[in-house]
Chain A
């Protein structure tokens, strides 16, 4: 392969490497065909979802891909179900606050681990790493007990944290082990000279973090923001445990109401329309910021080595 490219470059047909016979081998053709097949398998469920969401009930049975009539009203019906606008607003509030909290707290903590010298730092950092392996279920029940006792002083009309957004939001403000680790690794790559120069100019640590490290770690912060966004938007167990009043529900809980309301046999056309609406924001973020998703996942793999 390498030699092919070099040859192609010499002859000035670099961009046409794939049209050269020497580029292709039997194995490569097979690999390409397999990848095309796999991609089709991966995309078909999603297309089926779109197709179903635009069907009339009479179209639901069987193998029909193109609806006889595009039933856009499914989306309107889904949107007018229950307290859909309220649930959307709740989800947006919880997600947005979590993202802000996670980005700033993880970054601040990461700065401390990456650039400040203090006793106990390395011990504490191993503890951070250790908690990455901790199964969330172990803390689930006691956390619930804590949130059922912590006073909320009437916030959102509740005496305790349960049945408010607090249990879903506040933990994000304490940073998360994986993001702290990711940001710390990223920050260690920033030249020490920059920090030293700022210190000589009399800048405090908070200022150095804010005006040097936050701007320079933007790509890593984007990874943190995107994964927090996805996690919070699609969280089901948290809202299930902590949100009891229907008016506080998130879209994930609302979607479940939707299924329950349909009675015996689920109305798949509505359910798919509603599901697509819930997925849409995450899908859009993925299309726009695809690179960061891939980088984030790749880093998580590297972290394990």
Chain B
């Protein structure tokens, strides 16, 4: 009775209080969203229609930045081609190798956790220290080429030969698949064992189990990896920035490392006389990138309905 009266007395006020507390607690994110995400995005949408160098006020030029980008700028297409090269070559390779490693780690073996740790370890060793390491391993007389030489194979120039820079980056990228492997492994562990046991009773072989159970049940994970992989690949920056060194990526290594964000960075923060500090132009590039990512993600969501299997849909 006493408790009930307490509840009744404070029914309205606590609800209102909770409402206010809720907004208040969420405020750090809301403020961050307004000042560091939404506000800046709207501002960059505006500057993409202007000529702007930060110092002087933006000058409205309509669609000129976008027109120039698509019709007058061969470097834009070069950067796009380099970026798509990575999406089309590196991503499928990463996927196949990562799923392969995850399948191996999913086998019940002694030392499974140890192997998992070793495969994930490189992910901890990122940053530019790791890029230097690979620059050293893949230098013309480095570890890899020395190893190849013992088999009488003349190794390529990797990061000094424009034709081999991107393959070099793919090799380097393979060292960092640990995160992908763990995600696939989690996906594999989520597949109920009974399904395989039931299939075995029905006389299914290894390939049949892989095709009818593993693949469909892993498809949400694959889908997630493809979406985040594309977003990540479009944002390659640090590796290529370090590898082109003091040279501008616009000219360095035959423009083979001119990736989209590198080009964008150069337009925004490069030297003033050499195409830098064109914030309007760079903003237009950022919005084009954003729309490309939206389109690709949208396309994937649409395709996903056809090939991704979600358990809840049963």
Contacts and interface: CB of A to CB of B under 8 A. Distances in A.
B75 interface: no
A17 B188 CA distance: 23
B297 A139 contact: no
Closest 5 CB pairs of A and B: A174-B32, A304-B224, A118-B22, A301-B183, A142-B40
B231 A275 contact: no
Given A31-B107, A35-B105, A112-B25, A301 B182 contact: yes
Contacts of A173: 28, 32
A139 B133 contact: no
Contact-residue size bin, chain B (C-beta under 8 Å from the other chain): 35 or more
Contacts of B84: none
Contact of B124 (A48, A63, A177, A283): A283
B18 A205 contact: yes
A139 B224 contact: no
A74 to B, nearest CB: 14
Interface string B129-171: 1101111110101010011001000000000000000000000
B141 A272 contact: no
B235 A294 contact: no
A35 B129 contact: no
Contact of B237 (A18, A117, A237, A301): A237
Interface centre among A18, A39, A171 (most CB of B within 10 A): A39
Interface string B100-137: 01001101111100111111111111111110111111
A269 to B, nearest CB: 10
A131 B127 contact: no
Interface stretch (B62-70, B208-216, B248-256, B278-286): B278-286
A54 B112 CA distance: 32
B183 A298 contact: yes
A194 B19 CA distance: 20
A44 B108 CA distance: 25
Please classify the interface of chain B as helix (H, G, I), strand (E, B), loop, or mixed, using the class held by over half of its residues: helix
Chain A residues touching B, range: 35 or more
A252 B18 contact: no
A154 to B, nearest CB: 21
A216 interface: no
Contact of A175 (B28, B128, B150, B175): B28
A304 B220 contact: yes
B109 A35 contact: yes
A158 B23 CA distance: 34
Interface in A21-79: 27-28, 31-32, 34-35, 38-39, 42-46, 48-49, 52, 61-63
A174 B31 contact: yes
Given A109-B26, A133-B297, A275-B129, A139 B37 contact: yes
Contact of B36 (A137, A143, A305): A143
Contacts of B24: 112
B44 A138 contact: yes
A305 B221 contact: yes
Interface string A188-202: 000000000000000
A116 B235 contact: no
Interface stretch (A80-88, A217-225, A254-262): A254-262
Nearest to A304: B224
A297 B21 contact: no
